[in-house]
Structure 1
């Protein structure tokens, strides 16, 4: 399967422009590599730049789409750690409150953290771990009451899965 996208053309819903990593990824991925090559490029990018949010986003989406959910969950964990480190806040999502970071500031590490937390909830849901997913969705709702990141969609899926 050929990877048919350029990273700069993929909208980053958490915002933030990271021109260095994005340009490198774009150049390598647009060379026409397959999914295996794309994964290697993304992992190499993260090894050299552990704060490259675009690379985390692309890698966990790539793994998720291949149903490699355990691996995607591990990448999400690394992405959350990078966001917490860069944003200067606690890694543990349970320790956050509405005012503990600029959650609604789109071009922030906090917003990327929140968006990635949503990805974690979806990965857990896809693994059938609804009981693990729900507290994360509750925390996201507390931190993002305006649903800027769209976690209500994951909650609807979780509600549907719980009722079936």
Structure 2
């Protein structure tokens, strides 16, 4: 008799994620109140599936929301490199033009854009308004319809700029 255990997903991380990796991601999503445990699960997922871009997204979000900005930044750069390699475009955001498939939700291009948005947010947290603005300006060219929601970060940047003036 073949028994299948169905686990309710807390978060949908994407399609085509191997079941064992999705289980680690789901367990980490359910452990947000225990940073060390969630980090352990996500690092295990990264070791076991280093090409799965949703693992990087979950990991940099965990680090960022727990105040580990430097670690979040490191993982964002890893995500940018992986997504660029998978998508066949340059990893340096300042050299990327609108040549990738940004529209497909589970594409490397979309993961790249989300990682850029995260990097802009990290730059704001680091009080690097100029760095964040440069990324956000480039994101506007790559994603003119704002599919990834960078306008939220852009509004925060404008607000911070107004406060500092």
Asked if these proteins are the same fold (TM beyond 0.5), I'd say yes
- Shift of residue 27 of structure 1? 5.0
Cα deviations across residues 101-131 of structure 1 (Å, max 9, x unaligned)? 1112222100110011101100111111111
Structure 1 vs Structure 2 CA RMSD: 2.3
Gaps of 5+ in 1: 1-5
For the residues of structure 2 that align with 1:45 and 1:11, how far apart are their CA atoms? 15
State the match for 2:4 in structure 1.
none
State the match for 2:144 in structure 1.
145
**1:12-91 map, 5 Å:** 12=13, 16-20=15-19, 21-27=21-27, 30=30, 34-91=34-91
Contact preservation (8 Å) 1:29, 1:41: no
Gaps of 5+ in 2: 1-6
- For this pair of structures, how many residues does the alignment match? 156
The alignment's TM-score, normalised by the length of structure 1, stands at 0.85
Stretches of 4+ moved more than 4 A in 1? 27-33
For the residues of structure 2 that align with 1:10 and 1:74, how far apart are their CA atoms? 23
Secondary structure at 1:74 match in 2: helix
- Shift of residue 51 of structure 1? 1.4
Could you tell which deviates more after superposition, 135-144 or 28-37?
A: 28-37
> Rg larger in 1 or in 2?
2
Could you tell which deviates more after superposition, 117-126 or 44-53?
A: 44-53
Contact preservation (8 Å) 1:22, 1:54: no
Cα deviations across residues 39-60 of structure 1 (Å, max 9, x unaligned)? 0111121122111222111111
State the match for 2:155 in structure 1.
156
For the residues of structure 2 that align with 1:112 and 1:61, how far apart are their CA atoms? 13
Secondary structure at 1:9 match in 2: coil
The alignment's TM-score, normalised by the length of structure 2, stands at 0.84
Task: Give the structure, 1 or 2, with the largest relative contact order (CA under 8 Å, sep 6 or more).
Answer: 1
State the match for 2:130 in structure 1.
131
Could you tell which deviates more after superposition, 74-83 or 23-32?
A: 23-32
- Shift of residue 85 of structure 1? 1.4
